[in-house]
């Protein structure tokens, strides 16, 4: 939800502003929040008025922070990111443009919003993520002992077949006919323990039943899907067997907390003037 909220705010606001007479409700560091924006976010996202106000204040504070930090993104990077997003959805750029236009969003508006999101990611890495000190093994083990119920007791032995293809269409064809050779599609048998996998791949495998394919993944250079042949338990379990999972969960919590702490600090020091609500 957190990742899609800024995009939804943008779409709601941009498609509604011309329909209702508006007035400034709140001034945040010189950035206006209008009564229309509050109403639109509240209605379209089924939020309380206070929640909508808080979401919009956060949006303005983030934009103000980006300006002060002089965070920039090259337009070519934004275009490349948009192309990658289109490929990950199995579409061409033109197809994605058409879908966005049907939803009332122009391509230029989409690129502008995407640029803002990329700036936020860069700002987070440079100014927030850098404040998180990597945990020691002792800290991770303490965290594990406090949250044992969230981790599997032992690693799993995964038997997989990786299907790699240059296009989404070729991969889908191979997944529909796994025994038939498809031009351009490469297959590779993989036998690995769950604690040897990347967190992203492990999550993908865990949510896929044995005897079926995972969802296709865009690697940036092509597409890959895994046929899960079997998942069998092995090992004795304990902290070391799930250390990678523990590290991932610890980092997710720290990132969320660091982001919230930064926002709270911004809000506490910001010049926020309520004109009408």
SS3 state of residue 163? strand
Whether 58 and 11 have beta carbons less than 8 Å apart is answered as: no
Taking only the tens place, the pLDDT of each residue in 10-47 is: 545 554 444 445 789 999 988 899 999 999 999 988 99
CA atoms within a 13 Å half-sphere pointing along the CA-CB vector of 4: 4
> Across all residues in the chain, what is the average pLDDT?
86
% pLDDT > 90, the chain:
53
> Residue 153: what pLDDT?
56
Q: What is the CATH number of domain 5-130+258-274?
A: 1.10.4030.10
Residue boundaries of the structural domains of the chain:
5-130+258-274, 155-233
Q: How far is CA 48 from the centre of its chain?
A: 25
**What fold, for 155-233?**
Chitinase A; domain 3 (3.10.50)
86-89 own/partner pairs: CB under 8 Å, 24+ apart = 87/168, 87/218, 88/218
Beta carbons within 8 Å of 98's beta carbon, 6+ residues apart: none
Q: What is the mean pLDDT of residues 146-159?
A: 76
* Mean pLDDT score, 118-136: 91
User: Using one digit for the tens of pLDDT, what is the confidence trace for 238-256?
Assistant: 788 788 889 989 999 999 9
């Amino acid at each position: 939800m957190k990742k899609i909220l800024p995009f939804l705010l943008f779409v709601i606001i941009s498609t509604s502003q011309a329909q209702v007479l508006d007035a400034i409700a709140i001034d945040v560091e010189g950035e206006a929040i209008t009564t229309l924006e509050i109403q639109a976010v509240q209605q379209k996202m089924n939020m309380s008025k206070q929640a909508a106000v808080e979401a919009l204040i956060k949006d303005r504070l983030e934009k103000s922070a980006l300006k002060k930090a002089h965070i920039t993104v090259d337009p070519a990077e934004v275009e490349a990111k948009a192309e990658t997003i289109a490929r990950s959805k199995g579409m061409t750029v033109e197809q994605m443009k058409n879908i966005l236009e049907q939803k009332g969003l122009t391509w230029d508006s989409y690129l502008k919003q995407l640029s803002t999101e990329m700036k936020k990611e860069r700002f987070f890495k440079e100014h927030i993520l850098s404040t998180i000190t990597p945990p020691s093994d002792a800290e991770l083990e303490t965290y594990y002992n406090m949250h044992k119920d969230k981790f599997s007791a032992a690693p799993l032995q995964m038997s997989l077949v990786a299907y790699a293809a240059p296009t989404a269409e070729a991969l889908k064809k191979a997944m529909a006919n796994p025994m038939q050779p498809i031009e351009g599609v490469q297959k590779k048998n993989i036998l690995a323990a769950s604690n040897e996998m990347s967190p992203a791949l492990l999550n993908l495998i865990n949510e896929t039943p044995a005897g079926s394919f995972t969802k296709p993944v865009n690697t940036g250079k092509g597409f890959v899907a895994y046929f899960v042949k079997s998942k069998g338990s092995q090992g004795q379990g304990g902290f070391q067997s799930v250390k990678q999972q523990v590290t991932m969960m610890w980092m997710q919590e720290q990132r969320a907390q660091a982001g919230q702490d930064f926002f709270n600090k911004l809000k506490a020091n910001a010049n926020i003037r309520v004109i009408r609500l």
